[in-house]
Amino acid sequence: MFVAHLLLMLLLRRAALLAAEFCGSSLGGTCGVKTSAAVLRELRADFVVTYEQLKVMLSSGSVQLFDVRGPDEFQAGRIPGSANIPLGDLEEALRMSPRDFEKRFEVDAPHNEDDNIVFHCQTGRRSTTALHVAHGLGFARARHYAGGYSEWAEREGQPGGPLTPPSTPYPPR
């Protein structure tokens, strides 16, 4: 999957260079040609859900929200309406039959064509990996909440945000 992503980046960059050369302009140029970085930024934007968007999706009940953090993290604090599928279990989970998925995770199974699948973790790194796994399995419209539980907790005033102090101070020396 990483190799495919890298290949796509190289192909997009090469296409932009060829187009810029053909147009006689620089990469920042005219001709309506976008650099590979600009194209990738747009692609990534399509796969990202913001805090505000997630709030709307949750209030309307139109989201399948999957928390890919570990069970201990999930138990310590979670976004309401999320189901926990640890990242290490995600590929197996997405390959399960709907019946097995629903039995194990106690939520409806996602389908490849669904456009309301959102992954999240603590800060967006694991959910980005989850997004790549899901896309590789045909869940092409899946997205991720890049702010993760850290942003959610901070904005909702819950423990677990980035500025939460340790629960017990360090022992004196």
- The residues that are catalytic are 121
Residues 153, 127 contacting (CB under 8 angstroms): no
Residue 40 φ/ψ, nearest 5 degrees: -65, -35
Nearest one of 91, 96, 166 to 133, comparing CA atoms: 91
Residues 29, 23 contacting (CB under 8 angstroms): yes
How many CA atoms, within 13 angstroms, populate the side-chain half-sphere of residue 86?
8
Distances (CA, A) of 126 to 7, 99, 143, 159: 22, 26, 12, 20
d(CA 18, CA 24): 10
Which residues 6+ apart lie within 8 Å of 94 measured at CB? 110, 133, 134, 137, 139
Indicate the helix (H) or strand (E) that contains 166.
Answer: none
